[in-house]
Chain A
Amino acid sequence: MAKVIVVTSGKGGVGKTTSSAAIGTGLALTGAKTVVIDFDIGLRNLDLIMGCERRVVYDLINVINGEANLQQALVKDKRTPGLYILPASQTRNKDALSKEGVEKVINDLKADGFEYIICDSPAGIEQGAMMALYFADEAIVTTNPEVSSVRDSDRITGMLSSKSKRSEMQLNPVKVHLLITRYCPERVEKEEMLSIEDIDDLLGIDLLGVIPESQDVLSASNLGEPVILNQDSDAGKAYQDAVDRLIGIERELRFVKFEKKGFLSRLFGA
């Protein structure tokens, strides 16, 4: 049964697209046919993060408007088999997204044998974000450990329980997962940053994963290579754990405790 998963946050710049790319790649690596749809019409980024920007011909809006068919618009990932990207339009705005149009695209993708349909939501709570979450079966709410991001996540979680198709049809509610990104245990220790427990108090959402703050994320974005492919990096490993939990494998939380570096490890740079 195909699953539609929205990656959302309310607030901008917290790592939705980075997470969509990493989780989409991770799911495809399990052998499941996966597509990541960029809903950020007018500000498309996903193609850059996934390194396929030079191969974009048609986009989501072309498909919705019937100017191209789905097969023409889907961009096949070069590195990961079974992974596809449906890019956003850079020249239109978010009002071009209609509920009927998006529904048809999602149904066509399901009919095409896609097992995971990842919707990379734009920031905000307007049309683009609403369309990205409307058809979701599950949601990954991405949050940074700071108050404004947490509050926006609370708002978008409320939207998931009231504005989604599942809520309107009174089906089982959208299953919401929390993904904390840019977590820095050292700063939590110094009480400069909200801790996992603080965020849990404020949001009360099941934790899917905690991605540590890492230089590797930025380098991966600039290279156009999802960070999960870098398994030498803590962030890459943490995304892999999150993907494993998403498909039901239990994983201990890693990279969430601050460990002071001892003399020897400083000396040898371990």
Chain B
Amino acid sequence: MTLKSLNFPLLVLTIESETLSLLADELNKKRIMAPDFFLHAPVVIKVINGSLNLDFSQIRKIVIEQGFILVGISGELSETQKEMLHAEQIAILRGSKRQGSKEVVVEDKPVENVVETASFIANEVKTKIFKGRVRSGQQIYAKECDLVINGDVGAGAEVIADGNIHIYGVLRGKALAGAMGDQNASIFCQALSPELVSIAGVYKLSDDLPPEYAGKSSMVSLKDEQIVLDSLGQI
């Protein structure tokens, strides 16, 4: 047995207020997007204000109720908060220096809790390639890499990648790129008629997508926290 230090990708949820119902809402939103994918997913709560009076046992309860597992608390913690965490036996995580620069706090007005992700350091650049059609009810996940699908993604199917998603076929199901929070991730497909597209947690349903891209070869990306579409090869 050896004890060593490794980096893991973790979901980090930033808390900026004492209203814990917002925390529940945010986790719930995330969970609904891909219930199987986020079930029992580890999550870190980051506190940015040491003066907040937070009930940590309640936080842990909410995280568990939403089907996630609380790994620990990070952020700028006051001595009082640290003591409370010790009493509750909740781990305090110190963020690494490398991760600091990549953190982005999304300012979505009504919601004060924002899901973000600590950066991960990929040991090697990989791409997961799926040959064939992804059928209704199937879920393909490319962990910490890009996903290439050589075939159609059927209605009711889900393709998820921490990186980009390339579909050489028709996208009729759900596609979630940047699942761990990479806002630069994009989705490319030869014909776009999805149920849902999501980049780094920002999502759009088919009804909300501009109709002129329906059935066309398209690129889905994130610009100023909004989903934007472009035609393939015309940028």
Q: What is the distance, in angstroms, from A166's C-beta to the closest C-beta of chain B? A: 15
Contact B136–A204 (Cβ < 8 Å): no
Interface core residue of B137, B138, B151, B170 (most chain A CB under 10 Å): B137
Q: Does A182 contact B (CB under 8 A)?
A: no
Q: Does A202 contact B (CB under 8 A)?
A: yes
Residue in contact with A155 in the complex, picked from B137, B152, B170, CB distance below 8 Å: B137
| 8 A Cβ contacts from B140-190 to A | 151-152, 154-157, 170, 172
Q: Does A157 contact B (CB under 8 A)?
A: yes
Q: Does A12 contact B (CB under 8 A)?
A: no
- A137-172 interface code vs B (CB 8 A; 1 in, 0 out): 000000000000001101101110110000000000
Contact B152–A151 (Cβ < 8 Å): no
Q: How many residues of A contact B (CB 8 A)?
A: 13
B151: nearest residue on chain A (CB-CB)?
A204
Contact A151–B156 (Cβ < 8 Å): yes
Q: What is the distance, in angstroms, from A229's C-beta to the closest C-beta of chain B? A: 35
The 22 sampled A-B contact pairs (Cβ below 8 Å) are A125-B137, A151-B154, A151-B155, A151-B156, A152-B136, A154-B135, A154-B136, A154-B137, A154-B154, A155-B135, A155-B137, A157-B135, A158-B136, A158-B137, A158-B138, A158-B157, A159-B137, A201-B170, A202-B155, A202-B172, A204-B151, A204-B152
Contacts of A154 in B (CB 8 A): 135-137, 154-156
Contact B133–A204 (Cβ < 8 Å): yes
**Ranked 10 nearest A-B pairs via Cβ:** A158-B135, A154-B136, A155-B136, A155-B137, A158-B138, A154-B154, A154-B135, A158-B137, A204-B133, A151-B136
Dominant secondary structure at the A interface: helix
Contacts of A159 in B (CB 8 A): 137
Contacts of A204 in B (CB 8 A): 133, 151-152
- Give the distance in Å from the alpha carbon of A161 to the alpha carbon of B92 in the complex: 44
- A110-130 interface code vs B (CB 8 A; 1 in, 0 out): 000000000000000100000
A162: nearest residue on chain B (CB-CB)?
B138
Contacts of A157 in B (CB 8 A): 135
- Give the distance in Å from the alpha carbon of A106 to the alpha carbon of B157 in the complex: 33
B134: nearest residue on chain A (CB-CB)?
A158
Given contacts A154-B154, A155-B137, 15 further A-B contacts (CB under 8 A): A151-B154, A154-B136, A154-B137, A155-B135, A155-B156, A158-B135, A158-B136, A158-B138, A158-B154, A158-B157, A161-B135, A202-B154, A202-B155, A204-B151, A204-B152
Contacts of B152 in A (CB 8 A): 204
Q: What is the distance, in angstroms, from A127's C-beta to the closest C-beta of chain B? A: 17
- Give the distance in Å from the alpha carbon of A241 to the alpha carbon of B169 in the complex: 32
Contacts of A201 in B (CB 8 A): 170
Q: What is the distance, in angstroms, from B196's C-beta to the closest C-beta of chain A? A: 16
- B111-141 interface code vs A (CB 8 A; 1 in, 0 out): 0000000000000000000000111111000
- Give the distance in Å from the alpha carbon of A125 to the alpha carbon of B172 in the complex: 22
- Give the distance in Å from the alpha carbon of A201 to the alpha carbon of B137 in the complex: 18
- Give the distance in Å from the alpha carbon of A161 to the alpha carbon of B131 in the complex: 13
Contacts of B137 in A (CB 8 A): 125, 154-155, 158-159
A160: nearest residue on chain B (CB-CB)?
B135
- Give the distance in Å from the alpha carbon of A152 to the alpha carbon of B155 in the complex: 10
Q: What is the distance, in angstroms, from B234's C-beta to the closest C-beta of chain A? A: 25
Contacts of A202 in B (CB 8 A): 154-155, 172
Interface core residue of B135, B151, B170 (most chain A CB under 10 Å): B135
Q: What is the distance, in angstroms, from A11's C-beta to the closest C-beta of chain B? A: 12
Q: What is the distance, in angstroms, from A98's C-beta to the closest C-beta of chain B? A: 24
